[in-house]
Amino acid sequence: MSSHSAGLRRSSPKTFSAEKFARTYREGKAPAVTRTAALQVAKRSAAAMGLKAAKLALIDQLFAASKSVDWSTPGRPPIVWPSNARLARSLGLSISTMKYHLKGLVEAGLVAYSDHPTYQRRGRRDAEGNIVEAYGIDLSPIATRFAELHQLAENAEYEAREWRRLSYRRTIMRKEIQSLIVTAGEEYLPGPWTQLQARLDVLREHRATDLDDLMAQVSALEGLREEVENLFDKGFKDRNFDATVSKFRPVLTTAEPSDSESGNHESSRANARHPNPFAAFGRATEKKSDGVPRPPQSSKTAAQVLNDDAQMISLPLVQAACPAVREFAPDAFTDWRAFRASGQVLCAAAGINPQVLQEAQAILGPDLAASALAITVQRSNSGAVAKPGAYLRTLVQRGRDGELHLSRSLFALAKAGEPPTGLSAVAAPVSVTPTFPASGSIAYSAWAEAVREYAPKPTPDVDSVANAFRRWARDKNLDLTAPNIERVFAGFCRKWRMN
């Protein structure tokens, strides 16, 4: 054992600082503070510093050994002298643990040591209760730093209140935005809802590190909410029955559109009102090996292209586009963290060297790398890709060259995997008789099946729909024997709830 540790108390910059605060009080340079005020500011500032409950309890025990009169005489420090054993017993701790917490209070600058030559703790009071002589633990640094500690506590409590308020606001706005996006999909409103969902997912995944970061996150959510609300409101204002009927006017002319024009018209209409938001975007995907030319590249750098592409990708989109991933990693789509962690399992399942995934993560980033791996697994599982490792390397190289657009591939895969629905069946309506009956019931005809197929649930009375369609066709001078009467009637049924 060294001579220093045997006969001296070990010093540090923090303990030396506490001693200077105590010396300032003894010189009469500190303001007078009451015992109650000192106790309150000590506990509040200790909590603001992040000190744990045991140290706060120790502060209570030290002040319990102090009296109000100890704080009334300037220049005479409030010293207490309870033994280590007494403090440890009061706190229910071992003596060594109690010493550790006492040292923490000293290093925090809240108390200081007032040592006896032999490091004993003892003291005497006169008949009025004033301290005559005392050696032990000096509480005067709290009085010396009273204004500083009070401001520290106020700032910490303000930040805690603001953090709680902004956290509540962040949660409320995320729910409001999510509700609007979901409702827009259910109501078939046109708009870039998948892009907005991807932006919301990015903001939801972000973890704020400080108050300024949280304020920036809330501000970004406010901007996103305003954008979503404007699109949502515009979609409902634009959608009315007259506007819907006008969509069918091109097919009422005497000259029938060509097959390609009709197909494009119906495809765009289905995309604009498709219940699945993935169908509302273009069909483009990455360049294929058959030499199909890519669209012209912009002047963006490769990093900018990857960053923009990442903003377009949400976890629901990947899940809809790559269902094969769940066969190998059932929990992969729980959240983004689980999705990224499934990489090793998917590599093993597809026979891909893990080093290729590590290269993808280094070039594309963890989210795009996981999405590229999911696309590779999906296409390998469907037989479209014979060598998954080589295919993933190709995607990485395109990312390095700024030519990778995984969002397009995901949209295409999601659309290719959609089951037929009433809305997507516009281009191929049910087979019915070519002429709509000018009168009578349609209850036992194929036209009734069209009502059940296209009309909103619960299915309305088929004859009521037929009579309304006849009146509407008569007002529009529509020939019920027109070749496209099946398509027109299907659209009329879908909009029945608007009547």
Domain boundaries, the chain: 3-144, 163-239, 274-289+300-416, 424-498
Burial tier of 293 (Cβ tally within 10 Å: 0-12, 13-18, 19+)? exposed
pLDDT attached to residue 51: 92
pLDDT attached to residue 6: 55
| pLDDT at residue 279 greater than cutoff 50 | no
Q: How confident is the model at residue 18 (pLDDT cuts 50, 70, 90)?
A: confident
d(CA 282, CA 194): 12
Q: How confident is the model at residue 240 (pLDDT cuts 50, 70, 90)?
A: low
d(CA 330, CA 345): 11
Closest CA to 142 of 152, 157, 155, 134: 152
User: What pTM did the predictor assign?
Assistant: 0.46
Q: Does residue 458 have a cis bond before it (omega within 30 degrees)?
A: yes
Closest CA to 376 of 365, 363, 360, 366: 360
Q: Does residue 77 have a cis bond before it (omega within 30 degrees)?
A: no
Contacts of 163-171 spanning 24+ positions with Cβ under 8 A: 163/211, 163/214, 166/211, 166/214, 166/215, 166/218, 167/214, 169/218, 170/214, 170/217, 170/218, 170/221
Question: Are 232 and 190 within 8 A, CB to CB?
Answer: no
Residues contacting 283, CB < 8 A, separation 6+: 411, 412, 415
Question: Are 136 and 84 within 8 A, CB to CB?
Answer: no
Tokens matching residue 482: 């027109």
| pLDDT at residue 419 greater than cutoff 60 | no
Q: How confident is the model at residue 288 (pLDDT cuts 50, 70, 90)?
A: very low
Q: How confident is the model at residue 297 (pLDDT cuts 50, 70, 90)?
A: very low
Provide the CA 240 distance to its chain's centre, in angstroms. Answer: 35
Q: pLDDT digit string (tens) for 100-155?
A: 999 999 999 999 998 887 788 888 888 888 888 889 999 999 999 999 999 999 99
Residue of higher predicted confidence among 304 and 154: 154
Total number of residues shown for the chain: 499
Burial tier of 354 (Cβ tally within 10 Å: 0-12, 13-18, 19+)? exposed
d(CA 364, CA 373): 11
Residue 472 belongs to what H/E stretch?
helix 462-475
Q: Residue 109: left (phi > 0), alpha (psi -120 to 50), or beta?
A: left
Question: Are 70 and 31 within 8 A, CB to CB?
Answer: no
Radius of gyration of the chain (CA): 37
Average pLDDT of the segment spanning 351-378: 90
Segment among 367-376, 400-409, 412-421 with least mean pLDDT: 412-421
d(CA 368, CA 196): 18
What does pLDDT average to over the chain?
80
d(CA 301, CA 306): 9
List beta partners, residue 131. 125
Segment among 362-366, 444-448, 476-480 with least mean pLDDT: 444-448
Residues contacting 98, CB < 8 A, separation 6+: 58, 84, 87, 88, 91
Average pLDDT of the segment spanning 366-386: 89
Provide the CA 441 distance to its chain's centre, in angstroms. Answer: 54
Q: How confident is the model at residue 448 (pLDDT cuts 50, 70, 90)?
A: confident
CATH T-level assignment (fold) for domain 3-144: Arc Repressor Mutant, subunit A (1.10.10)
d(CA 431, CA 449): 9
Closest CA to 114 of 143, 140, 132, 94: 140
Burial tier of 178 (Cβ tally within 10 Å: 0-12, 13-18, 19+)? middle
State the chain's maximal CA–CA distance in angstroms. 117
Average pLDDT of the segment spanning 181-190: 87
d(CA 101, CA 94): 11
